[in-house]
A and B are shown apart, each in its own frame.
Chain A
């Protein structure tokens, strides 16, 4: 069945270091992937997305890498800051599937802890 999973439940990094959060997905039909950040007591906040016709996309301090061969997604955060501490979720969608309604399938989440 469809599933999106995270490799590690918690990632602890030093302030200023780069962070890499990984995600594996099992539905080869998925063609749209999103990373969300969720702070305690708040709703998910969009970080960056990528479609399956790309393997890399960059934003401000963040980069998403997509490896369709091994069905792996990663989020890289450069120069991690205390404000980056949160739970990070990857989510997927299969936009090209007939009848797709845009619902997102979320992974379990990785907690990022930034040490000052």
Chain B
């Protein structure tokens, strides 16, 4: 049973470009969480999605960031017009029921903005 998969593992973008990060949850999981980790810091919640629905986006910046989890295919975190401050590791986690059960994390995507 494959774990949570994220791609790409490393992504380099120039300022002003768009970044697309993909997350495939564990088989059978329909709940996806995105977290951001700055260097030497803990993870910060960004957004929680179920299939085709955004449930909680209280941690998402109001501009340039968006997320989706379509009926078919992976969850996508999209960052438009990236700036240097967006450089971080972005982790996706999935869970079976969404509350009160274990969240399984992917290996992360390390975004570098030059």
Contacts and interface: CB of A to CB of B under 8 A. Distances in A.
Nearest to A5: B42
Interface size class of B (residues with CB under 8 A): 20 to 34
Interface in A60-93: 89, 91, 93
Contacts, number: 62
B49 to A, nearest CB: 10
Contacts of A91: 43
A103 B42 contact: no
Interface stretch (B13-21, B77-85, B105-113): B105-113
A89 B106 contact: no
By size class, the interface of chain A is 20 to 34
A52 to B, nearest CB: 12
B100 A95 contact: yes
B99 A102 contact: yes
Interface of A: 4, 32, 34, 36, 41-46, 49, 89, 91, 93, 95, 100-109
B107 A43 contact: yes
A79 to B, nearest CB: 25
A108 B41 contact: yes
Contacts of A105: 45
B43 A44 contact: yes
Most interface-central of A44, A104, A105 (chain B CB within 10 A): A44
What 10 A-B pairs come out closest when comparing CB atoms? Answer: A106-B42, A43-B105, A101-B56, A102-B99, A103-B45, A106-B43, A44-B105, A95-B100, A108-B42, A43-B107
B64 to A, nearest CB: 21
19 contacts: A32-B100, A43-B105, A43-B107, A49-B102, A95-B99, A100-B99, A101-B48, A101-B55, A101-B56, A101-B99, A102-B48, A102-B95, A102-B100, A103-B56, A104-B33, A104-B35, A104-B45, A106-B43, A109-B42
